[in-house]
């Protein structure tokens, strides 16, 4: 049975909790690449009262319909593609970024960013977008976004390493403040 849009969204958030942030709380073990057996994930999900009747097909539906392609299934395993705060780090392929990348954020974050640059906060990496439109969409989660331009070409020349997730999110350990162009605020 197909999930309603609201149920699909709630299940997606629960899968994020399991696969990105708190697998150990639920007894789920991820391998060194962040994968868990889909069968084990399903068993963990079904232990929660709200999700006792969830099916593998419904989990696959969430994966297939995720607007940001947060998850991937490979064979009989599933993982979150990015955004992890769980202790283990996922290995992503190193890649040469475009000269300019973008980061959407809230105006309230600008004073700290101007001083410290972009930091991963509770995640393992800073997330960057290849397009300004994507950065606007990502930054809009917390209201009207501010889009920062990242001088990725300069960062590469200075020795920063960039990684590319399977769904096109650019990842870097941090972005120094002098590699950012700020909007006129």
- The phi and psi torsions of 27 (rounded to 5 degrees) equal 75, 20
**69 and 141 part of one domain:** no
* Number of independent structural domains in the chain: 2
**43 and 75 part of one domain:** yes
pLDDT in tens, 13-43: 899 889 888 888 888 888 877 888 999 999 9
What is the domain extent for residue 60? 5-80
- Please report the pLDDT score of residue 58 as a whole number: 93
**Domain boundary pick from 36, 52, 80:** 80
Whether the Cβ atoms of residue 79 and residue 34 lie closer than 8 Å to each other: yes
**49 and 104 part of one domain:** no
Please indicate, yes or no, if residue 85 is contained in any of the structural domains.
Answer: no
pLDDT in tens, 56-97: 999 999 998 877 778 888 889 998 876 555 555 566 778 999
**20 and 73 part of one domain:** yes
- CATH of residue 126's domain is 3.20.170.30
**68 and 118 part of one domain:** no
Tell me the pairing of strands 162-164 and 170-172: antiparallel
């Amino acid at each position: 049975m197909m999930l309603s849009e609201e149920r699909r969204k709630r299940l997606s958030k629960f899968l994020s909790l399991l696969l990105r942030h708190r697998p150990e709380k639920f007894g789920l073990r991820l391998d060194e690449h962040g994968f868990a057996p889909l069968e084990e994930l399903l068993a963990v999900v079904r232990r929660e009262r709200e999700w006792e009747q969830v099916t593998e097909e419904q989990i696959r539906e969430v994966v297939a319909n995720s607007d940001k392609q947060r998850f991937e299934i490979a064979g009989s395993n599933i993982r979150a593609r990015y955004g992890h705060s769980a202790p283990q780090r996922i290995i992503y392929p190193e890649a040469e970024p475009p000269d300019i990348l973008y980061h959407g954020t809230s105006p309230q974050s600008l004073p700290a960013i101007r001083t410290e640059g972009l930091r991963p906060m509770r995640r393992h990496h800073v997330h960057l977008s290849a397009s300004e439109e994507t950065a606007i969409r990502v930054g809009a989660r917390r209201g009207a976004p501010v889009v920062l331009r990242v001088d990725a070409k300069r960062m590469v020349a200075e020795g920063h390493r960039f990684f590319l997730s399977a769904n096109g999110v650019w990842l870097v350990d941090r972005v120094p403040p002098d590699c950012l162009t700020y909007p006129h605020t």
